[in-house]
Amino acid sequence: MKAGIASIRKELAGIYSGGEIESLIFLIFEKLKGYSRTQYLLAADEKLSEEELIRIEEIVARLKNHEPIQYILGETEFYGLPFYSVPGVLIPRPETEELVQWIIQENQLPAPTILDMGTGTGCIAIALRKNILKSTVIACDVSPVCIETARRNSDLNSAGISVIEYDMLKQIPEISLPELDIVVSNPPYVRETEKVKMEKNVLEYEPELALFVPDERPLLFYERIADFARKNLRNGGRLYFEINEAFGHECTEMLQEKGFSDVKLRKDIHGKDRMVGCRLLKA
Ligand code: GLN
């Protein structure tokens, strides 16, 4: 393995940082051999088969084109759980784990009903289902590949969430839901003009549908979801969003204007406004 590792380091140098390269190497061997971190460290002297060497070469060639490792390997991890990761479906992000953690901490109520809007891989919905006891979790998405992937991920994690088709902008198909305790969403929030500062691996490989909003309507999805939540949340129910760091104040104001109470803005681990949570208190 030593020689294989040295050659990956050499091929990827200059394209990825040293730290990134080491994580990539571990992920490759985890996938190829099923090794844990310790097994990987102990296996340095093992010989690699011809097939393994060819597979590594293929992976490295794709990495050199900036293709995300999650798509190359077909899987990733979110909140300590495994997820299939395929093109057309946004790769789960660490910031979103922070949102999930907040919701879990704040909602250990008995058997809540939760809806995740624009679920992608299903990562938020499944992580909540696995960590909030007796929760019923419904996830929706407009994209067929997301619906299929979220269902596969639910099976992979024995989560038993329901995944349904729903276009939140057009509001079709019409859906009728039980009264909800929690609505959560990480909708598209990157403005078209922000493309210039984005990395190749995101821009060239990840789905535009999950990422972008028109410059002139940055809160498009948030407004729709807030209206939807007003109709479908029970009295005292909560709404949570992941947000664009540039729109913390606009987002909290919009929620207050729409009648939500207790609106809280939270920063992510990098100190950026990233999450909003609020409650619906009906008169
Ligand atoms: N945080 C993601 C990114 O910057 C965007 C996720 C989203 O639009 N919901 O790539």
Ligand 1: which of 193, 198, 242, 247 to mutate, judged by most atoms within 8 Å of the beta carbon?
242
**What is the structure's pLDDT at 283?**
78
138 and 251 co-located in one domain: yes
87 and 188 co-located in one domain: yes
Give residue-wise pLDDT tens across range 229-281: 999 999 999 999 999 999 999 999 999 999 999 999 999 999 999 999 999 99
Structural domain ending residue among the three candidates 43, 65, 87:
65
163 and 82 co-located in one domain: yes
Give residue-wise pLDDT tens across range 158-179: 999 999 999 999 999 999 999 9
Paired sense of beta strands 75-78 and 81-84, if any: antiparallel
**Ligand 1 centroid, distance to 89 Cα (angstroms):** 12
pLDDT range class, residue 214, cuts 50, 70, 90? very high
Indicate if the pLDDT at residue 44 is higher than 90.
no
Closest-lying ligand 1 atom to the alpha carbon of residue 96: 1
Rounded to the nearest integer, the mean pLDDT of the chain is 96
**What is the structure's pLDDT at 86?**
98
Give residue-wise pLDDT tens across range 49-77: 999 999 999 999 999 999 999 999 999 99
87 and 52 co-located in one domain: no
Q: Is 182 contained in some domain?
A: yes
Q: Dig out the tokens for 16 from the structure.
A: 């990825």
CA-closest residue to ligand 1 atom 2: 211
Q: What is the DSSP letter of 132?
A: S
CB-based contact 185:125 (threshold 8 Å): no
**Ligand 1 centroid, distance to 218 Cα (angstroms):** 13
Counted domains in the chain: 2
Structural domain ending residue among the three candidates 65, 91, 111:
65
Cβ–ligand 1 contact at 92 (below 6 Å): no
pLDDT range class, residue 282, cuts 50, 70, 90? confident
Helix or strand (DSSP H, E) at 236: strand 233-242
Q: Is 173 contained in some domain?
A: yes
Which single residue is written with the structure tokens 């460290």?
41
100 and 205 co-located in one domain: yes
The amino acid occupying position 274 is R
**What is the structure's pLDDT at 250?**
98
41 and 159 co-located in one domain: no
CATH of the domain at 239: 3.40.50.150
115 and 162 co-located in one domain: yes
Q: Is 71 contained in some domain?
A: no
Cβ–ligand 1 contact at 246 (below 6 Å): no
Cβ–ligand 1 contact at 190 (below 6 Å): yes
Cβ–ligand 1 contact at 279 (below 6 Å): no
Q: Is 70 contained in some domain?
A: no
Closest-lying ligand 1 atom to the alpha carbon of residue 187: 9
93 and 36 co-located in one domain: no
Q: Is 237 contained in some domain?
A: yes
161 and 257 co-located in one domain: yes
175 and 235 co-located in one domain: yes
Q: Is 116 contained in some domain?
A: yes
42 and 88 co-located in one domain: no
**What is the structure's pLDDT at 278?**
98
The CA distance from 171 to 83, in Å, is: 28
Residues of the domain holding 250: 76-280
Structural domain ending residue among the three candidates 65, 97, 119:
65
54 and 188 co-located in one domain: no
